[in-house]
Structure 1
Amino acid sequence: MAITWILVANASLAKLYANLGPNKGLTLVKELIHPESRQKNSELVTDRAGSMPGFGNGSGAKIQQTMPKEHEAKIFAQEIAQELYHGRATNAFGRAIVCAPPSFMGMLNAVMDSPTAQMITDRFEKDYTKSPEPVLRDRLASCLFL
């Protein structure tokens, strides 16, 4: 039976578990932490928005296209996608299950390569990062033989 990887993630924490087969339970493979995603937007930037000459009577202000916190979450999503890519490329798993809040799931889906995305058999749009392992096992019982 193929190894199943279970990714439980949010914008600042990711836990990667492996299920080696029936009655084997879950084994923590890796934990990734991205503390920048927990900081406030004001702590992630050093200056106020700059100013630019405006058109017409008012003055222009440079507005950031992406909030710093969202930018950090995207960086973390890329790091996680790279970890899944590496696992797929080295045949470390045969299928994957991903659990993440809806907004972060969208970020992961946007940066994941197609062959890796095809190995994901189940997606749960929930944040299970704070769930203890027994609770996580119960939540995944429908798609895993634990």
Structure 2
Amino acid sequence: MSITWILVANASAAYLYANYGPKKGLQKLKEFRHDASREKGQHLVSDRPGHNKSHGNGCGSYISSTHPKQHEARTFACQLARELEHGRTTNSYQRLILVVSTPFMGLINSNMGSHVRNLVSDTFEKDYTKASEKYLTRHLESCIYL
């Protein structure tokens, strides 16, 4: 029996489903929330950039090269990739389907190891995190036997 995991995610929420075979439907395994990704950027950092001395008449200020919301999205993608890797090492699934929003898909892919990436059979760049299970199953009929 082949177990398929389906990860439905965006930068602030993710749901992990499993399909245990034909006529078994989807079963929700876990739900992940990353509220920091939903915060305004100004709430994620201190109120002013730090100051540093420069070789000249004035002083400069340090501005981070990464936007705080982008950093939080990377953190969440790393957390999800670790969860997928843990499932792979424990043989919890043999096949993986990614249903991830377009901007977040690149972060997920860059954090996934090659072994997990080899288990990915289908990818959908859509944000179905707010979709019902019934709606989701209709869109996944083409790649799994529900």
Tell me the amino acid that sits aligned with residue 144 of structure 2.
L
Structure-1 residue corresponding to 2:99: 99
For 1:33 and 1:82, the matched residues in 2 are separated by: 15
Task: Tell me the equivalent position of 1:143.
Answer: 143
Counterpart residue number, 2:126: 126
One-letter code aligned to 2:17: Y
Q: Which deviates the most, 115-124 or 57-66? A: 57-66
* TM-score, structure 1 as length reference: 0.94
Where in structure 1 are there 5+ consecutive unaligned residues? none
Percent identity, aligned pairs only? 51
* Bigger Cα displacement from structure 2, 51-60 vs 82-91: 51-60
**Aligned-partner SS, 2:7:** strand
What TM-score does the superposition give when structure 2 sets the normalisation length?
0.94
- Describe the SS at the equivalent of 2:71: helix
Tell me the alpha carbon deviations over residues 9-54 of structure 1, each in whole angstroms, 9 at most, x when there is no partner.
Answer: 0111110000010110000000011111110111111231123345
Q: What is the alpha-carbon distance in structure 2 between the residues aligned to residue 67 and residue 114 of structure 1?
A: 27
1:33 maps to what in 2?
Answer: 33
In structure 2, the residue matched to 1:13 is: 13
Segments of 4+ in structure 1 off by > 2 A? 51-61
Gapped runs of 5+ residues in structure 2? none
Question: Aligned residue for 1:74?
Answer: 74
Partner of 1:85: 85
Gap change, CA 1:141 and 1:58, over 3 Å in 2: farther
